[in-house]
Amino acid sequence: MNPGALLIGGVIALALVSRSASSPAAYDAPAAPPTPAPAGEFVDGWVNGVQSSIQVADVDEKGHQLRVDAAAAFIAMRAAAAAAGVALVLNSAYRTYAEQLRLFNLYLAGEGNLAAPPGHSNHEGGIAVDVESAEGTNAAFHWMTANAADYGFRRTVSPEPWHWEFA
């Protein structure tokens, strides 16, 4: 038996530890728990025309952000795509009201892509991503079409093969 010391509430307690020949040589740790949603910051978001505070987290090295539950799902999806040899590259994710207003005004002037009015884009709610899709012809688009639903993402704007939303 080996003596061991343990500090409990400022008092040292001695314990005798028995190690027999049948005791394992090393501690087998339990399996790691599932990866939690990434920690993030609270920002002003818009959902169906209503302003609210949402928590967003970074999902790539460019600083793109998503609502934390969507971020966790996207990170898992991107890892699965990478394991299949496919890169999911974001062009856009969470947007501020001001950024959505700028894009909407470009759309109205005929100088930009289709854009929802400010306060009504799911980008402002932190659940929409624009994935580089080469207009629906690259491996990312085909992988997303086959697998995105498994991670909670779906296409919601048919003329935009790059636009996917977390549901």
Band of residue 130 on the pLDDT scale cut at 50, 70, 90: very high
SS3 140: helix
pLDDT tens readout for residues 61-73: 999 999 999 999 9
∠ Cα 49 157 86 (to 5°):
120
Lowest mean pLDDT among 25-34, 38-47, 54-63, 116-125: 25-34
* Burial letters 80-107, b for 16+ CB under 10 A, else e: ebeeeebebebeebbbeeeebeebbeee
In this structure, what token pair is assigned to residue 97? Answer: 């009201």
Please write the tens of the pLDDT for every residue from 49-106. Answer: 999 999 999 999 999 999 999 999 999 999 999 999 999 999 999 999 999 999 999 9
Q: Which residues contact 162 (CB under 8 A, 6 or more apart)?
A: 91, 130, 131, 132, 133, 141
How many structural domains is the chain composed of? 1
Q: Is the pLDDT of residue 14 over 90?
A: no
Domain that holds residue 59: 38-166
58's enclosing H/E stretch is: strand 50-58
> What pLDDT score was predicted for residue 149?
98
pLDDT exceeds 80 at position 29: no
Where residue 101 sits, what CATH number does that domain have? Answer: 3.30.1380.10
Return the number of other C-beta atoms located less than 10 Å from residue 65's C-beta. 24
Q: pLDDT > 70: what percent of the chain?
A: 77
Q: Is residue 6 part of a domain?
A: no
On whether residue 92 sits in a domain, the answer given is yes
pTM of the predicted structure, to 2 decimals: 0.76
- Residue 98 covered by a domain: yes
The answer to whether position 79 is within a domain reads yes
Q: Identify the band that residue 40 occupies on the pLDDT scale cut at 50, 70 and 90.
A: confident
Q: What is the mean pLDDT of residues 148-159?
A: 96
124 class by beta-carbon count within 10 Å (0-12 exposed, 13-18 middle, 19+ buried): buried
Distance between CA atoms of 6 and 9, rounded to whole angstroms? 10
Residue 105 resides in a domain? yes
99 lies in a domain? yes
What is the reported pLDDT for 17? Answer: 37
Residue 150 lies in a domain: yes
The residue among 37 and 51 whose pLDDT is bigger is 51
